[in-house]
Amino acid sequence: MAFCTLWALSSGAKADIYTEVNALVQAGQWKAAQLLADERLKTAPTDPQMRLLKSHIQTGMGQFSDAADTLRALTLSFPELPEPHNNLAALLARENRHEEALAALNAAIRARPDYALALENMGDLYLALAAKAYGQALRVSPDLKRLQNKHNITQNSLKAP
């Protein structure tokens, strides 16, 4: 909600830059988007919306460590915004840093308890952890049908759209 408020308070000129950067991102023109984002951040280094866009650009360019650093800094500057916490969790989960991802998702949900995407991501993360645990248990006891069933269910759930 605070993020929406920040967006609403933006001037028309600022809205144009966000629209332009978003259009470049949607077109996969990462370098051009990065140049515009960096230009904006020179004049407004604390702009949370542009910093969030910058992390998205970095992710799109495969700069995952830089994106995580941008999001960490953003969560420190604006802990009340759930999106940076959620996006950081996604990057951490991608690296199998599950405990850190859970902490980031918990921060997102504390910031906005009705943030459906963070709640969904938490469910997905717990599902992935369950599948991993069932897989480990199957290596120890490969003949247990209940473990095979649970492992299959979680694996299939992870593949579902």
- In which band, very low, low, confident or very high, does the pLDDT at 15 lie, cut at 50, 70 and 90? low
CATH number of 79-161: 1.25.40
pLDDT of residue 80 exceeding 90, the answer is yes
Q: What is the mean pLDDT of the chain?
A: 90
Spatial separation of the C-alpha atoms in residues 63 and 59, rounded to whole Å: 5
The residue ranges of every structural domain in the chain are: 10-67, 79-161
Q: What is the pTM of this model?
A: 0.83
Start-to-end C-alpha separation, the chain? 28
- Tell me how many degrees the CA angle 64-66-71 measures, rounded to the nearest 5: 95
Amino acid 158: pLDDT: 85
Q: Answer whether residue 130 shows pLDDT above 90.
A: yes
Mean pLDDT of 136-157: 93
